[in-house]
Amino acid sequence: MASPISASQTARIVRLAARVRPEMWDAINPHGPVFAAGVAGVRSLDRSSEVALNPQPLPPREQLRMAVLQTVKGVAETAIGAHQGGRDAREILQAVGDDMCPTPPHPKIPWPKNWPGPWPPGEPFPIDLVDPQYATSAVQAVAGLAFQGYADGIADEKLSAVFGELADRLFGAALATSD
């Protein structure tokens, strides 16, 4: 049996593929500008500015993806701030991992309970949840790639390792859920 691929390995594969199609980063990288070869200047990965210019509503799956990335960014900034303040970022990331990788039965879309959900409470999810496993594994995979982006970009090895552990956990849950 082959050994499982870590979030770090997956992120490296995505980075290689993004050399051919740089717009791939728009789907997974929740923070910061990117410098792309052959592209003049910096292009922002925060698509909210593009969305503001487009009067059409976003497709539901795009709404969910953006909500996941915004939540990951909030979680990551909180964990980084806690770490800089002398607190243990692992506590925050462990709690988020527990919420996003619940044991069955679990909510249709697993979400960190200390962050706003993707839609107002009591309203139906605007995506097709005929197969709730799709939404669960998609949320976990997108969050895993985004957390791995933080792990790869943080120079502090201890903090980077904590982000990498969460990314690996989310990837494992996404793959288990999608089976």
pLDDT tens-digit series, residues 38-86: 333 333 344 455 555 566 776 777 778 888 889 999 999 999 999 999 9
State the average pLDDT over residues 94-100.
Answer: 95
Residue 2: inside a domain? no
Residue 103: inside a domain? yes
As for how many domains the chain has, the answer is 1
Per the structure, the complete domain to which residue 109 belongs is given by: 7-178
Question: Are the C-beta atoms of residues 31 and 72 closer than 8 Å to each other?
Answer: no
Residue 158: inside a domain? yes
Instruction: Report the C-alpha dihedral over residues 65, 123, 95, 115, rounded to 10 degrees.
Output: 70
Residue 40: inside a domain? yes
Residue-wise pLDDT for 108-156, tens only, equals 778 888 888 877 777 666 665 545 667 788 889 889 989 998 999 999 9
Residue 50: inside a domain? yes
Residue 1: inside a domain? no
Residue 96: inside a domain? yes
Question: Are the C-beta atoms of residues 42 and 33 closer than 8 Å to each other?
Answer: yes
Task: Quote the pLDDT of residue 126.
Answer: 61
